Every structure is written in structure tokens, then in C-alpha cells.
Structure 1
Amino acid sequence: MNELIQKASLLKQSSFNMAMKTTDEKNEALLLIADALIKQTPAILAANEQDMEAGRQAGFADSLLDRLQLTEDRITAIAEAVRQLTKLEDPIGEVVESWTTEHGLEIETIRVPLGVVGMVYEARPNVTVDAATLCLKAGNAVLLRGSTSALHSNKALTAVMKQALEQSPLPSDALQLLEDTSRETAARMFKLNDYLDVLIPRGGAGLIQTVIEQSTVPVLETGVGNCHIFIDESAEKQMAIDIALNAKTHRPSVCNAAESVLIHKNWPHQQELLAALHQAGVEVRGDEGLASQYDHVIAATEKDWGQEFLAMTLSAKLVGSTEEAVSHINRYGTKHSEAIVTDSDANAELFFRGIDAAVLYRNASTRFTDGEQFGYGAEIGISTQKLHARGPMGLKAITTVKSLVRGSGQIRH
């Protein structure tokens, strides 16, 4: 029996066991995982350095190396996010709704685990822990399929978590890492309907599209982020500059970083904003109006408006109204996170009503689109689709429901 089927079989059996576990039992396991991550930090970092060195030798971009890298501080933050999960309300068993029918049947819909979650992701070893612990807290078993570029890191993290599970009330078989990262095995994984209940791809547009196109297992789609900041003509100068800088430069390699800034043509502080971006090391690719006015703005191409740069690069465009900004974002955006900086309630409302995206902001950075920042704990991903879940996906997003019907001998006539 090959690795994929063997591990999928173990997960399927474990999922029935997981559905019976109590909140206290799941929280105990999570705390053991968090402690183990801290204790095993040196071994995890050593494994990660193997991936980092291979990435450097392969010429990985700085943005990819940043996503791949683990540090002591990052592992501490990952472990703390696991501990925070234990403080969150367990969604399993929640009564979503209840009623009594005219025939006296008492019906309640309750929240239950999805079952076996297949997680497909790229060079983000933190996702290994985030996905595993979120799934366990929600009563799911999980099959992790990371990328070859993070294999040493993922193996080390999974080994630490499975060792912790062996000391816990949860079955250690409920967590599996698919070490065969070939495309052929991945393609087979996408069609394991007998074993997997859902697939969640997390990564670049190519990965997500591949899973959507090839999978017969239902897909809970996450999305890439071509996020915009629209600076309205009424925007306060320093607020707008601070938000634009934070959204672009705080961590440019992640999906909630801003990739484009739209500036109302009547906003009087264009020069100060562009100078601040330039000073921060951002390459600004502007429309004809901006490129002709400012020496450090280079001319944008049509491709730049739809680009997820994931780097210190930003497209910039002058617009004449909120309506024009909304139209541009709906054309080039990826339905992820969009922000308006404005002192106008009317323009903010128009922006909120007009844009089709998972998360919309007024006077705040798009960098807050994150499960932890939303109070969900570690996130499984950010959904830009419209079915089942949308936006940062926490515990409830990886559950489903079932209906319990209690009668007293009713039969249907």
C-alpha cells in the first residue's frame, strides 16, 4: 500500500475517533503541542536551515525565503497561537438553530467536524502547525501536503506534533504529513473522495487553480491578494500615509499586503505619500499622470494593475471619484481585502456597498485580514469565494452541520 492510501486510511479511521473527543481532551493535546514546539525549537530550526540553504542555492526570491524561514521568535509566536486556540470556544456541538414542527418533531441543527481535511500549501512551514491544530481543535483529522522546498521543516514540525499527540487523549494518527511531494501523488490526492471530505489549497494562484481544476474532492478555496488602498480626497494626510506604508511594507510577502494604491486626483498630499513610499524602499509603478510628475515613479503597464507583487513594489493610479476607484478595484482586485481612507461617511458607504471582496476597511490597514487579528486564533486560510466561508477562516469554517430529530412515535401520512 503506497504512502498516500496508507495515511489516508489511518486518517479516515481516526476521524471517527476525533468526532467523539471532548473540548478538554482537545485542549490538552494542543497545550502539549505548544510546549513541544518550544522544547524542540533547536531541532526545528536545524531542519528549517536545510530548506533555507537549498532555497538560497536554488535562487529563491527574498519574498519566498521570508515565507520559508522559521526563527526562534516565529516558533514562539506559532506556539502561542496554538495556546490561544485552547481559549477559544469549541464550535463542535453548538446548536445553530432549533425548532418544533407542526407534527411535534423537535429538530436541532448542530455543528460537527468536517471529517478529514486535506491541506495543500506551499513554502509556509507555519501553515503546517496552523492547519494541524485548527483541524484538531475542530475535531477533524488532517492530511498535510506541503511543498518540496519546505519538506525538512514540515517533517520536523509534524514529528514534534505527533510525539505530543502520543502523550495526549487524541489519536496521533489524526495528523499525517504526505512526504511524497510529487505532482503525480498530489493529483491522486485530489481525487480521494473515499477518504477526504474537503481540500483546502493555500498558496499562489497557480496552486489554487490546479487544485480547483483537478480535484473531485470538494474544495474550500482560498485566494491570492491583489489588495488596494484608496485614498479619498478627504483623507487625513498622516493617516493615509501611515496606512499605505503599513499595508505595503509591514510584511510585503503575504496576501493581505497592499499591492496598489489609488489616489483621488484632488487629494493635496500626493507628493508626500509618494516620497514616503520611495524613502521606505518601495518601487512605485504609476499611471501616466504620476509617472510624468514624479521622478521616482516609473510607468506602469496594464499587467501591473492585476499583479500580486509580494515584494516592495506597488502600482499607483490617480482616480477622479469613489465610483472610479470602486470600478477599478472590481476589475483588477481578487476579492480579498480592500481599504478606503476617508473622512466622508457617504464615500465610505459607497465603497462598502460597491466592492465585491471578502473584507473591506475604512481607515485601517489591510494587514488586519488575519485569523488571529480577527480573534479566530490561527487561521486555516483566507477565503475569497462565496460558498461555505468567506474571509479569514477560523474554527467554524472547518465544521459542517447535522440535524438531530427527536420524535414520540410520529409517522408520515
Structure 2
Amino acid sequence: MKPGKIASLAVRSGNGLLLKGGKEAKRSNAILHKVITSSIPPTVGERLIGLVTSREEIPELLKLDDVIDLVIPRGSNKLVSQIKAATKIPVLGHADGICHVFIDKSADLDMAKRIVLDAKTDYPAACNAMETLLVHEDLVQTGGLNDLILELQEKGVSLFGGPKASSVLSIPEANSFHHEYGALACTVEIVEDVNTAIEHIHRHGSAHTDSIITEDKEVAELFLRQVDSAAVLHNASTRFSDGFRFGLGAEVGISTSRIHARGPVGVEGLLTTRWLARGSGQVVDGDKEIVYTHRDLNLEA
């Protein structure tokens, strides 16, 4: 938890907030909470931002679906899954970050090396780090795959293969395609074409962030249209999937949900729509003899 950043997003979006940090930072969280609440104007009230200090309080809070609108868990797959299973309150976030990079047969291989190395080694523990590398089978014949594998190994990346890659590259077979290493390790698999890559991503991915490296614009557009992930990139590292890098400013997290906010979530993702109407006695009356005209009006709230 980064309480200052999260609190600023809550204040900016007009939301009350209950913060829960890790027990290993209990004293730091208390001090930061005091600093944050002391800076809130009296007209707003310091109670806008609360602090939960005990894990035992969480189960009871998760029952309060009548007063809590949203839960945003930040942590392990196990934590997020447990919270989702324990509450009726909508949960915003992601459990897994199984991010893929697919290298197409038409890829610029020098570019591919830069992107793959960045996606895996820039910050391996990040949720937007590459966990699975998919490679077009034609690159096995040209030797392009071998060069890339050597680059990864030289950077200290442990490689595990799918059924095809483990045989071709003589590397240990991965236990599962749906695995988030969060370290200098990744799974490699060889696929027939872009359609096979898309199918693999939909079957084994987590709808977080996926990237294609190709010089073929038609193949790129097919991938961008059909991969149903929160962020889909062309010729760029998966590490770009980030609120700051996307220009959102502070980020509360990344959501793989298909309802409400998706992808990096900033202030806009913490807002919902409310309709205000000012009339002078209008009634619907079955829409008899009524013509609706819709236009934007500049009105003060």
C-alpha cells in the first residue's frame, strides 16, 4: 500500500477511504495516516480517510456491502482470490499478471530482443512483466529464436518451455502455462501463427497486458483487435502498462475487470456517473406527441 498516493486519489475523486497496510509497516502506516489526515481541511473532515490496523477487522468490513462501494486489493493472487470469494462488494483489481509477448515471423529481431529483455528484466516482480514468450515457428528455422534465448540466459533469466519449445530448445518443461513467476524466469512456447498465439493467450492469459512484435500491419491489427486484455501493445514492452506511463498520474492499481474501470486505474476510474435533471413539470405520459432533442448543455452543478 502507498497510502499517500491512494489517499490523494480518494480525495481528488470525492471518495471516502479505508486504508489497510501490511503488518510489517504498522507504525509507518499510522504515522503516514496522521500526516495525511492532518492535511485535510476541517471543512472536509479528517475522518474521510480511515486506517484499518488489524487483519481480524477485514472479514467484518467485507460484509458491509450496504456502506462500502468498492474493494481494491493489492497483493498476492491468494489475497485477491480470498477477498473476491468473501464479499458481495465489487472488487477492482487483478489476481494474476500473466503477460505475453508474441514475436511474429516478420518482427525486427533487434527490436524484439530489446522489447523482450525490457519486458522480462526491467522489473521482474511487476504485474506487467512478461511471463510467457510466444515465438512464431518460422523463427526456429532462421535461427532468430536461438539468438533471443541466448540473450535472455545471459541476463540470468531461467527458461521453461511448453511442449514444443522444451523439445526444440532442450529446456525444462513448464508445469503450467498459467504461472506468474514474478522473478527472472519465464515460459517459452513456439506457435504456428498469430491466430495460434491469440488462442494461447485467451486460454492461458489473465487479460492483463499482452504485446505483439511484428512489421506486418495487418497481423498487428488482428492481434490488437482480437486479444481481449486490458492493455494490448504493438512493438512495445508490456512494462508500459502503467498509470503514470499512460498519463493518468497516480494509479490505484491495474484492473482486469470488464465492468467499470479496466487497465491502469487513476482518478477517472474511481468515478461513476450520476444523472441530475431540472424540470418544470414535465411528465412522460407514454411519450405522446413528444420529440426528444439531445444536445450538450453547459450547466453548473
Q: How does the TM-score come out when normalised to structure 2?
A: 0.88
Shift of residue 383, structure 1, vs aligned partner: 1.0
Distance 2:281 2:166 in 1: 77
Following TM superposition, by how much is the alpha carbon of 1:380 offset from its aligned partner in structure 2, in angstroms?
1.2
Residue 406 of structure 1: how far off its partner (Å)? 1.2
Higher helix share: 1
Cα deviation per residue 1:366-400 (whole Å; 9 max; x = unaligned)?
Answer: 10111111111111111111111111111111111
2:106 paired residue number: 234
In structure 2, what residue type is equivalent to 1:163?
S
CA-CA distance at 1:139 after TM superposition: 1.0
Distance 1:263 1:345 in 2: 17
Give the whole-Å Cα distance in 2 for the aligned partners of 1:149 and 1:330: 37
Task: Choose which of 98, 115, 123 in structure 2 pairs with 1:243.
Answer: 115
Does 2:156 match 1:156?
no
- What is the total number of aligned residue pairs between the two structures? 282
Kindly indicate whether the alpha-carbon contact (under 8 Å) linking 1:134 and 1:395 is maintained by their aligned counterparts in 2.
Answer: yes
Secondary structure of 2:65 counterpart: coil
Q: Hey, what does 1:100 align to over in structure 2?
A: none
Structure 2, unmatched stretches of 5+, are 286-301
1:331/1:150 Cα in 2 relative to 1: closer, same or farther (>3 Å)? Answer: farther
Matched, 1:172 2:46: yes
Equivalent position of 2:291 in the other structure: none
Q: Which residue identity does 2:128 align to in structure 1? A: N
Output the amino acid matched with 2:78: G
Alpha-carbon contact 2:211-2:236 (below 8 Å) kept = yes
Q: Any unmatched runs of 5+ in structure 1?
A: 1-124
Partner of 1:195: 67
Q: Distance in 1 between matches of 2:32 and 2:236?
A: 34
Residue 132 (structure 1) aligns with: 7
8 Å CA contact 1:146–1:181 kept in 2: the answer is: no
- Structure 2: distance between partners of 1:290 and 1:397: 40
| Equivalent residues in 2 for 1:52-71, closer than 5 Å | none
- The change in CA–CA distance for 1:306 and 1:407 in structure 2 (over 3 A counts) is same
- Confirm or deny: 8 A CA contact 1:231 1:340 kept in the other structure: yes
Separation (CA, whole Å) in 1 of partners of 2:27 and 2:193: 50
Query: Residue in 2 aligned with 1:401?
Result: 273
Which whole-Å CA distance do the structure 2 matches of 1:368 and 1:169 have between them? Answer: 39
Match of 2:186 among 296, 310, 314: 314
What amino acid maps onto 1:358 in structure 2?
A
Aligned partners of 1:157 and 1:308: how far apart in 2? 31
- TM-score for both structures, normalised by structure 1: 0.65
**What is the aligned partner in structure 2 of residue 64 from structure 1?**
none
Tell me, yes or no, if structure 1 residue 146 matches structure 2 residue 18. Answer: no
Distance (whole Å) between structure 2 residues aligned to residue 279 and residue 314 of structure 1: 14
More deviation in 154-163 or 352-361? 154-163
Q: How does 1:7-406 map to 2 (within 5 A)?
A: 125-126=1-2, 128-165=3-40, 170-182=44-56, 185-267=57-139, 268=142, 269-294=144-169, 298-303=171-176, 305-406=177-278
Would you say the 8 A contact 1:227–1:256 is kept in 2? Answer: yes
Deviation per residue, 1:278-297 (Å, 9 max, x gap):
11111011234443444xx6
Per-residue deviation, 1:350:
1.7
User: Structure 2 CA distance, aligned partners of 1:219 and 1:140?
Assistant: 16
| Aligned-partner Cα distance in 2 for 1:376–1:328 | 30
Please give the secondary structure, in 1, of the residue aligned with 2:276: strand
User: What SS does structure 2 have at the residue aligned with 1:406?
Assistant: coil
Q: Measure the CA separation in 1 of the matches of 2:168 and 2:155.
A: 19
Contact kept, 8 Å, 1:380 with 1:394, in 2: the verdict is: yes
Between the aligned partners of 1:169 and 1:373, the Cα distance in structure 2 is 34
Find the counterpart in structure 2 of residue 97 from structure 1. Answer: none
Aligned mates of 1:186, 1:152 — CA distance in 2: 19
